[in-house]
Structure 1
Amino acid sequence: MKKKADSQNLNEKEENKLLNHVKLSINEKFQNWVLFKNGTYIIFENADIIPDLESEAIKLMKEFGPVYTGTHAADFDVTDLKKTEGWIVSGHGYGMYTYVSPDEIKCDITDILEIGLYGRYKRDLDGRNPVIIHINRKAE
């Protein structure tokens, strides 16, 4: 049986691993972004006029995160990453992306549809239960 501390350390390691992949997936010119528990993140281009990134990120995640079949929320695009392994899945929310690791895909052959559907699933989880694990704000 795992101890609570062991489980917490594992979660911290997984979150740090996710954070490192996301940092490498974001263009360096974007300094203001918020990362959610399941790998969805939102980039803020106009963060200097947003006093509370956390509240704004939660609001946007609740609005654009949940997936509803047959709507724009179900649309996605998949981008291969160059600086780290994995993919970014984008959807209908501007500046909202979801990181998908190769470890999460069970297929030996890269299947863009499977990657996109899995990324959309993760975004839906973040949209229905938004838990922020990191806020990156440009130092002023």
Structure 2
Amino acid sequence: MISFMSNDNLADIWRRIILGDGKSWVVFAHGTCVVLPDPAPGVDLAAQAVEILREYGPVHVGSPSADFGTVTLDPGPGWAVYGHHNDVLTYVGPDEVSDDSDLAVGLYGRHKRNRDGHELTVVHVEDKRPR
């Protein structure tokens, strides 16, 4: 059971999830977000996030990249799935999985991160650096 999330919906979801007004972040097409807590002035945030996701997005079985954990969002709905980079998270909505177990949610989130790590399609940049 997979639903389509618009780019605006993804940005709104991540605005709700990310705590701290000073964190910049970048969202990719399948719901993966790379948080950039302290980017340097003048750095292209999208390019920096692409480099991080290029390295930490793809899944390689038997390596740390295949590991994951889930966090149930409060307030919900949905989950954030994390992996081997602290600043890379993937959103999984309740309408995307029919089984809400940690294993099913985590596997689906890892699959979405893998797709984002290969496709590297940026859909939103939230620049919170001081002006």
Where do 5+ consecutive residues of structure 2 fail to align? none
**Residue aligning to 1:125:** 115
CA-atom RMSD in angstroms: 1.6
Aligned-partner Cα distance in 1 for 2:88–2:54: 12
Counterpart secondary structure, 1:98: strand
**Residue aligning to 1:114:** 104
**Residue aligning to 1:89:** 81
Counterpart secondary structure, 1:113: helix
Answer yes or no: is 1:98 the counterpart of 2:90: yes
Where do 5+ consecutive residues of structure 1 fail to align? 1-10
Answer yes or no: is 1:27 the counterpart of 2:19: yes
Stretches of 4+ aligned residues off by more than 2 angstroms = 28-31
Larger Rg: 1
The structure carrying a bigger helix percent of its residues is: 1
Calculate percent identity across the aligned residue pairs.
33
Q: Residue 80 of structure 1: which of 67, 72, 82 is its match?
A: 72
Task: Give deviations 1:14-34, integer Å, cap 9, x for gaps.
Answer: 222222112111113443000
Corresponding letter in the other structure for 2:112 = K
What displacement does 1:74 show? 0.3
Q: 1:114 to 1:131 in 2, by over 3 A?
A: same
What displacement does 1:135 show? 0.4
Q: 1:89 to 1:50 in 2, by over 3 A?
A: farther
Indicate if the aligned counterparts of 1:67 and 1:74 stay in contact, CA closer than 8 A. Answer: yes
TM-score by length of structure 1 reads 0.84
